[in-house]
Amino acid sequence: MIMGTAILQELAKTVRSKNAGTDKITFDIIFDNKENFDLVCSSNVITKASMAELFNVAEDRITDFVQYEPANAIKFTILRDYPSGYPGDGDIFGSQHYPPLLTLKIPIN
C-alpha cells in the first residue's frame, strides 16, 4: 500500500474564516462528501491542540471545536487578541485568517 499526502485545499470544498461576534473568529472547513470529511477527521491533523499550535494561541483560546458529521464540516472558534475594529486591527471582518489551513498535509493511502 502506497501512502501519500493531500493538502487540505484539495480535499475541502470551502475553507474560510469570519467574525463570530466582536471578540471571536470562527473557521469553517466544509467537504463535498463524507469520504473526504472522514479522511481528514480520522487523520487527527485537525484537532483543537493542532489548531492552537498552527495559529500560535493557547489551547484555551479555542472556545469551540466541532466535527459536525451531518454537514461534513469541521468548525472551530478562536478568541481574538483584540476586538474587531480595535486600532491596528488588520482584519476587521476576520476573513483573512484561514490561509494556514489551506496547505495542511493530510495523510492518504
Q: What would the pLDDT profile of 66-75 be if each residue is shown by its tens digit?
A: 999 999 999 9
Sign of torsion over alpha carbons 55, 57, 59, 63: negative
Higher per-residue confidence, 56 vs 89: 56
- Going by pLDDT thresholds of 50, 70 and 90, the confidence category of residue 88 is confident
Taking all residues of the chain, what is their mean pLDDT, rounded to a whole number? 94
Instruction: Indicate yes or no: pTM above 0.85.
Output: yes
pLDDT at residue number 90:
85
What are the angstrom distances between the C-alpha of 7 and each of 4, 38, 54? 10, 15, 15
